[in-house]
Amino acid sequence: MLEAAIESGITLYDTAQTYGPDSNEILVGELLKPYKNKIFITTKFGFGKDSSVLDSSPKRIREVVENSLKRLNLEQIPLLYQHRFDPKTPIEEVASCVKDLIKEGKVARFGVCELSAKTIEKAHKICPITAVQSEYHLMWRNPEKQILPTLEKLGIGFVSYSPLNRGYLSGKLTKDSEFNASNDNRATFPRFQPSAMEANYQIIEMLKEFGKGKNPSAKDSNATPAQVAIAYLLTKKPYIVPLFGTTNKVHLEDNLKALAVKLSDADIKAIDSSLDKIIIVGDRYPAEQANRVGK
């Protein structure tokens, strides 16, 4: 999968201390080692040894960075994100610590995830932010209200994680799709309960209709819902990087074909207008996780 992605020209690979935990960084470090001079690896801090505990204290940040460098086989982390806001540690203290790590050469760039526009501005004053990573897709356009205008003002990039709403916007999930609670957090997400998935399928129908004739690289010239969803983000703003994940080579190839889908400003307005008429059923996170974002 990774070789196929690299050969296709994908250069951004995202991981985190808490994925696994730790095991994903080990895997990424091992598999991407031969390519590390050609690619861009990003990772994150923000949790304690128990991944349910938020911890962005300077001591913990430094501990995570040292461990991440070893696991990823890197001399310097290209882009280091704060994974989630830590209410116990002021954002100024977090930014100051990362600024010191940049001076020491252990980190190249600073990023943050799922922060409010106000907190982004506070952090940026202490240590310039390269990118903000937050959820953003056709079913979650909230970043357009305050985040994107703030990033434009400050000259910060935006990395859109889950651009297909955890696979839903591929159009391949239905109300009968099942998720294993032991290794798939969608099992607990309100938006992935059967009733919500059925109610929201009108978005898929809209994307299928809109995609007709939109992909010149396809045999039938039609763009898939996934391709329209990714093309939407690529067209929306020049500084948006869609960050998708997949374990399926066919899905990888399908997503890459979004590059052939060219949407005009009129197309974007038409999609937005259609979405404005659709009420999304189900919150994106359970209450506990929802309390960790937008702070």
Shared fold status for 1-135 and 166-236+248-294: yes
- Stretch 113-117: mean pLDDT, rounded? 98
pLDDT at 176 exceeding the cut of 90: yes
pLDDT of residue 22: 87
16 DSSP 8-state letter: -
Taking the C-alpha atoms of residue 107 and residue 75, their distance in angstroms, rounded to an integer, is 9
In single-letter form, the type of residue at position 29 comes to G
Taking the C-alpha atoms of residue 77 and residue 97, their distance in angstroms, rounded to an integer, is 14
pLDDT at 281 exceeding the cut of 90: yes
Which candidate in 13, 19, 136, 285 is catalytic? 19
**In the CATH hierarchy, which top-level class contains the domain 1-135?**
alpha beta
pLDDT at 242 exceeding the cut of 90: yes
Rounded to a whole number of angstroms, the CA Rg of the chain reads 19
The question of whether 19 is a catalytic residue gets the answer yes
Architecture of domain 166-236+248-294: Alpha-Beta Barrel (3.20)
Distances (CA, A) of 112 to 95, 166, 187: 10, 20, 26
Domain segments of the chain as ranges: 1-135, 166-236+248-294
Taking the C-alpha atoms of residue 203 and residue 186, their distance in angstroms, rounded to an integer, is 19
